[in-house]
């Protein structure tokens, strides 16, 4: 798939505005606040949700079509391009009627191929730019699939928005970022613009700046940030919104670094480190392979004695010991959990193959392979 840019060459692209359009005054106050304060940096797109997909019923579900007139006023009075979320064909037709410049597909819609297809069909024959948020669940193919449906409808000005993934239990983030997925997307589609929605990743104000810095350091094309004149009394997502002044201050505090440099010193230093990293990666793979070899040996013993694969007590003790070691070595708990989960999952699958496939030890093809170089 090939894409055309939605935004001009200036980087970072900045998209800002309230979570929801609440009143005409609130929408206009936000837009004027951003324009007035934001000579540098000026924003590239003004956002406001008109139809709001809320997790629980009874919450504010959006102002609906009357809000589109407010967005039109924002355009007329500030010259900013505007964007809102669409979840079905009717939303698309309303937006086209009122001249909304860019549409976005929300995380709860990207998960549903029927809805995405309906939106793509409604847009066929236009060249309206569309931002596609990641689905709420970390499903890379579903995200790419939504982009593909729009592309098949003839749209080319498409960008992706990374807003993190739902989680259950304790996390620093409202939606865990899983940075590798947008990185994979950038690698697979180098001409696709990718924006980081730090507000929905963080869910809280105090970690917005560090998350924006992270996004800059990963070379995102830009940021989407929820901005509200009086965030504490916002009708949706109050805890994560910031004022126009706080937005400008935050953007001023994050550092946009060069993608790369030709400086020979830099190249030499980085080469040396990369060489060491390559060696370590090779060692890591060998070590994991050795570990899996032992896991398979245990699989044969369990099969022999008819003992279940999952041993919760043992696993709990192992995780605890690793947390302890990881902490001493400056590895985050989040990373350690992800790493151990992946190891555990692979171990279980390898033992399952041994238990259930009736394959004799000598016939397991990968057995002993780690010894080869």
Binding site for Mn ion (CB under 5 A): 19, 237
From Mn ion, ligand PEP, none, interface partner of 133 (C-beta below 5 to 8 A by class) = ligand PEP
Closest distance of CB 152 from ligand PEP, Å: 22
Question: Counting contacts by CB under 6 A, is residue 106 touching ligand PEP?
Answer: yes
Is the Cα dihedral 267, 269, 272, 277 positive or negative? negative
Phi, psi of 113 (to 5 degrees): -60, -30
Binding flag, residue 309, ligand PEP (CB under 6 A) = no
Bridge partners, 194 (sequence order): 160
* Residue 200 found at the interface with ligand PEP (CB under 6 A): yes
Element (H, E) at 127: none
Number of C-alpha atoms within 13 angstroms, CB side, residue 358?
0
Number of residues that bind ligand PEP (CB under 6 A): 10
CA separation for the pair 284, 293 (Å, rounded)? 14
CB of 42 to ligand PEP, least distance (A): 21
Asked if residue 46 lies in contact with residue 74, where contact means CB atoms within 8 angstroms, the answer is yes
Q: Rounded to the nearest 5°, which phi and psi values hold at 5?
A: -70, 145
Of the candidates 166, 108, 104, the one whose C-alpha atom is nearest the C-alpha of residue 137 is: 166
Q: Which listed range, 76-84, 104-112, 328-336, 362-370, lies at the site for ligand PEP (CB under 6 A)?
A: 104-112
Q: Which CB atom, from 200 or from 228, has the smaller least distance to ligand PEP?
A: 200
Stretch that binds ligand PEP, among 106-114, 138-146, 177-185, 239-247 (CB under 6 A): 106-114
Residue 22 interacts, among Mn ion, ligand PEP, none and using kind-specific CB cut-offs from 5 to 8 Å, with none
**Cβ(181)–Cβ(138) under 8 Å?**
yes
Question: Is 49 a binder of ligand PEP (CB under 6 A)?
Answer: yes
Rounded to whole angstroms, the Cα distance separating 341 from 231 reads 38
Nearer to ligand PEP, 220 or 295 (CB): 220
- The dihedral built from the CA positions of residue 71, 119, 102 and 125, taken in this order, carries a sign that is negative
Q: Is 107 near ligand PEP (CB under 6 A)?
A: yes
Which residues in 154-193 contact ligand PEP (CB under 6 A)? 163
* Closest approach of ligand PEP to the CB of residue 11, in Å: 22
Q: How far is the CB of 38 from ligand PEP (least distance, A)?
A: 20
Closer of 208 and 326 to ligand PEP (Cβ): 208
Shortest distance in whole angstroms from residue 237 CB to Mn ion: 4
Quote the DSSP letter at residue 362.
G
| Beta carbon nearer to ligand PEP, 91 or 200 | 200
CB closer to ligand PEP out of 6 and 354: 6
Spatial CB neighbours of 237, under 8 Å, sequence gap ≥ 6: 19, 20, 199, 200, 203, 226
What's the first-to-final CA gap in the chain, in angstroms?
38
The residues binding ligand PEP (CB under 6 A) are: 19, 49, 53, 106-108, 133, 163, 197, 200
């Amino acid at each position: 798939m090939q894409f055309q840019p939605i935004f001009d060459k200036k980087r970072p692209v900045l998209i800002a505005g309230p979570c929801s359009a609440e009143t005409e005054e609130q929408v206009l106050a936000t837009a004027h606040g951003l324009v007035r304060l934001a000579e540098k940096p000026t924003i590239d797109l003004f956002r406001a949700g008109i139809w709001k997909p809320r997790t629980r019923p009874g919450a504010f579900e959006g102002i609906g079509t009357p809000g589109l007139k407010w967005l039109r006023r924002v355009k007329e009075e500030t010259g900013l391009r505007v964007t809102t979320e669409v979840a079905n064909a009717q939303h698309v037709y309303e937006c086209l009627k009122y001249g909304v410049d860019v549409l976005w597909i929300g995380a709860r819609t990207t998960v549903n191929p029927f809805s995405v297809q309906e939106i793509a069909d409604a847009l066929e024959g236009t060249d309206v730019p569309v931002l596609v948020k990641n689905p709420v669940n970390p499903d890379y193919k579903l995200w790419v699939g939504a982009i593909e449906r729009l592309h098949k409808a003839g749209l080319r000005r498409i960008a992706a928005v990374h807003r993190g993934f739902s989680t259950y239990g304790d996390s620093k983030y409202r939606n865990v970022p899983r940075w590798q997925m947008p990185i994979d997307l950038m690698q697979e589609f180098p001409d696709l613009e990718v924006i980081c929605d730090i507000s929905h990743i963080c869910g809280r104000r105090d970690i917005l700046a560090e998350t924006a810095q992270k996004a800059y350091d990963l070379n995102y094309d830009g940021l989407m940030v929820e901005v509200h004149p009086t965030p504490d009394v916002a009708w949706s997502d109050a805890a994560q919104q910031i004022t126009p002044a706080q937005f400008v201050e935050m953007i001023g505090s994050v550092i946009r670094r060069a993608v790369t440099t030709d400086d020979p010193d830099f190249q030499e230093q980085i080469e040396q480190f990369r060489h060491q990293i390559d060696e370590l990666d090779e060692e890591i793979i060998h070590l994991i392979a050795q570990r899996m070899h032992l896991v398979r040996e245990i699989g044969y013993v369990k099969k022999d004695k008819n003992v279940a694969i999952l041993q919760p007590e043992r696993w709990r003790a192992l995780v605890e010991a690793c947390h302890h070691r990881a902490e001493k070595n400056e590895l985050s708990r989040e990373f350690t959990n992800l790493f151990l989960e992946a190891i555990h999952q692979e171990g279980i699958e390898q033992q399952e193959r041994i238990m259930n496939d009736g394959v004799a030890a000598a016939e397991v093809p990968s057995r002993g392979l780690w010894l080869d170089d």
